[in-house]
Every structure is written in structure tokens, then in C-alpha cells.
Amino acid sequence: MCGDCVEKEYPNRGNTCLENGSFLLNFTGCAVCNKRDFMLITNKSSKEEDGEEIVTYDHLCKNCHHVIARHEYTFSIMDEFQEYTMLCLLCGKAEDTISILPDDPRQMTLLF
């Protein structure tokens, strides 16, 4: 992975977890060929491990195939919540939790 190709390494993306694609705003250009173009996504794999779906792939320079970053996205269901995570030098780090119930118990107010 190449820290010279990105503006900021592992930027905080809040709760924006990408299962596919690239965060091009963080891409400054390829450090090898000095071109700023679209990227290729290669070596994409999806596996399930202990009830957790894990998607990984590589971001490559379209022109010289330099490996810019390795992307990892996970999805799991814990109790009544869907949990998402993303970790990538280019796309950043993020986590999100969403209730699978019609009414999110975390948003409920207590009535006395």
C-alpha cells in the first residue's frame, strides 16, 4: 500500500462504509507513474466467517497497476443490529450500526 498516493491515510469517514468503489477525493495521483486517473479494482473476494461477511479487494492504478490500497469491508448481524465496518488506506475507516427492528430501541425515550 502506498501512502504517497493519498492525501490522507485512513481518513475518518464517520458511518460511510463502502462495499465497493473508491474514494477518489482522497487520491492525489499515482506515486509511480504520476497520473491521476480512475482506479482498477482487482483481487475482489467475498467470504463468510463466523456469521460475518468479509469483502476485500485492491485499488490499483489504471495506468501502471501500482497497488494503491487494500480495502476491507465487513458486515454482520449482532442481536438486533446490522454492523458495518470499512478499513482502507484510500477510502478510510468507518463503522455503522443499524437496527433491524422497525423502531430503533436506541432512539426510544423512556416514559414514566
Domain CATH code at residue 33: 2.60.40.4240
In tens, the pLDDT along 44-74 reads 999 998 889 999 999 999 999 999 999 999 9
Quote the domain boundaries for residue 85. Answer: 3-99
> 21 pLDDT exceeds 80?
yes
* Domain contains 108: no
Q: Degrees (nearest 5) of the Cα angle 98, 52, 88?
A: 80
Helices (H), 1-112: none
Which pLDDT does position 111 carry in this prediction?
Answer: 53
* Domain contains 106: no
* Domain contains 87: yes
4-19 mean pLDDT: 93
* Domain contains 39: yes
pTM, full prediction: 0.84
* Domain contains 19: yes
How much of the chain, in percent, has pLDDT values that exceed 70? 89
* Domain contains 12: yes
